[in-house]
């Protein structure tokens, strides 16, 4: 772990940061916050306190977390169980940088104490990721508090220039390259995850992390009936029921496996958060969802299919198309159109056609590493956020 102490200019002490996370559902809210908290602590030397209202969701990603403890230190981050909307830690200390994730509301007593501080904290609202163009216009816009002499800035993650970027640890590319270059590392991963060796090069390895999705049944049929072997790796979760129905078994939990025709499927245990990346690196194609796994698939530099988090009134569809526009921008017309058809079908618009999409996987693969390079030019979100906060603290 690299410890890079980053002092505030005023006191010489490390920057103290409070990060508030309310878990709405699933794992993305805490997934993003936990990753950001660790990066700020390990890569920027900040003293980070992470307030989380749902320790059970958190524990799925971080099994060493004790769900019974009100306060605990995990990997250099102080974790506070945010057990009531008004709760703000037992001793009310206000950090130099305060981040409210995804517009969760800060405890009123905390905001009042922020306003009372002589040196006002830098207050950021970390928004959800969107690839839409308007994001760059709103990124870092200030919003004055209606009652206090405080201003909050909106920090918008994004895929393009002028946005806050997305999270990427400094060591991520090196870890991926080491995995890809080491037959031993891959063999060990396969043995640990599946109990068997990696399949041969003729097999297409696919990871499947998705919400419930009606398009899965026709896709499983196409993989079963296709000419090429498919090895499907399915972390247990919301799509597992569909696999169980397809294979005619009561459940498809971790350790389950089944073969029909050219399709072999194996269910995996949900891993600690760092354990998810090697699954992406071990696969030829990754189905991902929500926000954090969507980002990880892009850093994995392999073709991926995004199951976007569905919103009321189909508000998610322009976001899906905005991501496609970025990712597909330099793809030749035929693979770009096939990618769009397949992503749309996976998100409820049209029927999935595996043969149509599969023929363009080599082009998508070639695009994937170029795209990861383009994204990297925007800079890592934690670094961008730290730089902005420090400029405000001066
Ligand atoms: O779980 P998600 O669907 O999360 C969300 C939430 O629904 C949230 O409310 C919504 O607003 C947001 O998406 C857009 O998908 P996501 O974001 O990919 O988060 C999953 C996390 O789980 C991610 O950090 C990776 C991690 N993970 C593991 O740690 N181990 C695993 O085995 C797997 C499959 C995932």
Domains of the chain by start residue, with CATH: 9-166+378-393 (3.40.50), 172-376 (3.40.50.2000)
Task: Flag whether pLDDT at 371 surpasses 50.
Answer: yes
> Any residues with CB less than 8 A from the CB of 104 and at least 6 apart, and which?
20, 21, 22
Distance from the alpha carbon of residue 28 to the mean position of ligand 1, in angstroms: 4
Could you confirm whether 18 is annotated as catalytic?
no
Distance from the alpha carbon of residue 362 to the mean position of ligand 1, in angstroms: 27
d(CA 299, CA 310): 23
Split at pLDDT 50, 70, 90, the class of 197 is very high
Stated pTM of the model: 0.96
Residue nearest to atom 8 of ligand 1 (CA): 28
Taking only the tens place, the pLDDT of each residue in 214-253 is 999 999 999 999 999 999 999 999 999 999 999 999 999 9
Could you confirm whether 272 is annotated as catalytic?
no
d(CA 217, CA 360): 22
- Residues flanking ligand 1, CB < 6 Å: 24-29, 31, 61, 128, 209, 235, 270-271, 273, 276, 289-293, 309
Nearest ligand 1 atom, CA 291: 17
Split at pLDDT 50, 70, 90, the class of 10 is low
């Amino acid at each position: 772990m690299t410890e890079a102490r980053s002092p505030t200019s005023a006191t010489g002490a490390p920057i103290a940061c409070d990060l508030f996370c309310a878990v709405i559902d699933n794992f993305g809210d805490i997934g993003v916050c936990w990753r950001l908290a660790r990066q700020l602590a390990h890569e920027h030397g900040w003293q980070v306190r992470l307030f989380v209202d749902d320790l059970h969701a958190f524990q799925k990603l971080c099994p060493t977390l004790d769900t019974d403890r009100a306060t605990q230190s995990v990997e250099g981050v102080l974790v506070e169980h945010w057990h009531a909307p008004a709760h703000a830690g037992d001793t009310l200390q206000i950090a130099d940088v305060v981040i409210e994730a995804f517009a969760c509301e800060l405890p009123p007593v905390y905001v009042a104490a922020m306003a009372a501080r002589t040196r006002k904290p830098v207050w950021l609202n970390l928004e959800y990721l969107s690839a839409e163009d308007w994001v760059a216009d709103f990124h870092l816009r200030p919003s004055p508090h209606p009652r206090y002499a405080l201003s909050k800035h909106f920090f918008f993650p994004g895929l393009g220039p002028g946005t806050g970027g997305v999270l990427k640890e400094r060591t991520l590319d090196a870890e991926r390259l080491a995995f890809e270059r080491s037959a031993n590392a891959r063999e060990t991963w396969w043995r640990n995850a599946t109990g068997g060796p990696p399949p041969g090069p003729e097999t297409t390895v696919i990871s499947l992390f998705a919400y419930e999705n009606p398009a899965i049944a026709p896709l499983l049929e196409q993989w079963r009936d296709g000419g090429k072997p498919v090895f499907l790796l399915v972390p247990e979760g919301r799509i597992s029921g569909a696999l169980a129905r397809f294979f005619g078994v009561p459940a498809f939990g971790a350790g389950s496996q089944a073969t029909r025709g050219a399709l072999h499927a194996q269910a995996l245990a949900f891993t600690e958060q760092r354990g998810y990346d090697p699954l992406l690196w071990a696969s030829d194609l990754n189905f991902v969802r929500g926000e954090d796994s969507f980002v990880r698939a892009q850093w994995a530099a392999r073709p991926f299919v995004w199951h976007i988090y569905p919103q009321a009134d189909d508000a998610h569809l322009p976001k899906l198309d905005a991501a496609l526009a970025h990712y597909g921008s330099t793809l030749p017309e035929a693979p770009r159109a096939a990618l769009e058809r397949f992503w749309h079908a996976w998100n409820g618009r049209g029927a999935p056609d595996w043969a149509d999409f599969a023929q363009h996987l080599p082009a998508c693969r070639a695009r994937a590493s170029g795209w990861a390079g383009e994204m990297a030019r925007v800079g890592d979100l934690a670094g961008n956020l730290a730089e902005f906060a420090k400029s405000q603290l001066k």
